[in-house]
A and B are shown apart, each in its own frame.
Chain A
Amino acid sequence: NAGVTQTPKFQVLKTGQSMTLQCAQDMNHNSMYWYRQDPGMGLRLIYYSASEGTTDKGEVPNGYNVSRLNKREFSLRLESAAPSQTSVYFCASSGTGGVGYTFGSGTRLTVV
Chain B
Amino acid sequence: GQQLNQSPQSMFIQEGEDVSMNCTSSSIFNTWLWYKQDPGEGPVLLIALYKAGELTSNGRLTAQFGITRKDSFLNISASIPSDVGIYFCAVMNYGGSQGNLIFGKGTKLSVKP
A residues engaging B (CB < 8 A)?
A: 4, 31, 33, 40-43, 45, 48, 56-59, 90, 92, 94, 99-106
Q: Which residue of B lies closest to A94 (CB)?
A: B100
B33 touches A42 (CB 8 A): no
With a CB–CB cut-off of 8 A, which chain B residues contact A102? Answer: 45
B104 touches A103 (CB 8 A): no
Q: Which residue of A lies closest to B31 (CB)?
A: A99
- Say which size band chain B's interface belongs to: 20 to 34
Complex Cα spacing A32 to B31, Å: 20
With a CB–CB cut-off of 8 A, which chain A residues contact B42? Answer: 4, 90, 92, 103-106
B43 touches A103 (CB 8 A): yes
Q: How far is the CB of A96 from chain B (nearest CB, A)?
A: 11
Complex Cα spacing A58 to B43, Å: 19
With a CB–CB cut-off of 8 A, which chain B residues contact A59? Answer: 1, 97-98
Given A59-B1, A105-B41, check contact A100 B103 (CB 8 Å): no
A31 touches B31 (CB 8 A): no
A106 touches B88 (CB 8 A): no
With a CB–CB cut-off of 8 A, which chain B residues contact A41? Answer: 105
With a CB–CB cut-off of 8 A, which chain B residues contact A33? Answer: 99
Q: Which residue of A lies closest to B44 (CB)?
A: A103
CB of B101 within 8 Å of the partner chain: yes
Q: Mark B26-47 against chain A: 1 for CB-CB distance below 8 A, else 0.
A: 0000010101000011111100
Complex Cα spacing A106 to B39, Å: 11
Complex Cα spacing A43 to B41, Å: 13
Given A41-B105, A42-B88, check contact A100 B99 (CB 8 Å): no
Complex Cα spacing A68 to B1, Å: 25
A45 touches B33 (CB 8 A): no
A43 touches B43 (CB 8 A): yes
Give the residue of A40, A90, A99, A103 whose beta carbon is less than 8 angstroms from that of B92: A99
Complex Cα spacing A100 to B44, Å: 9
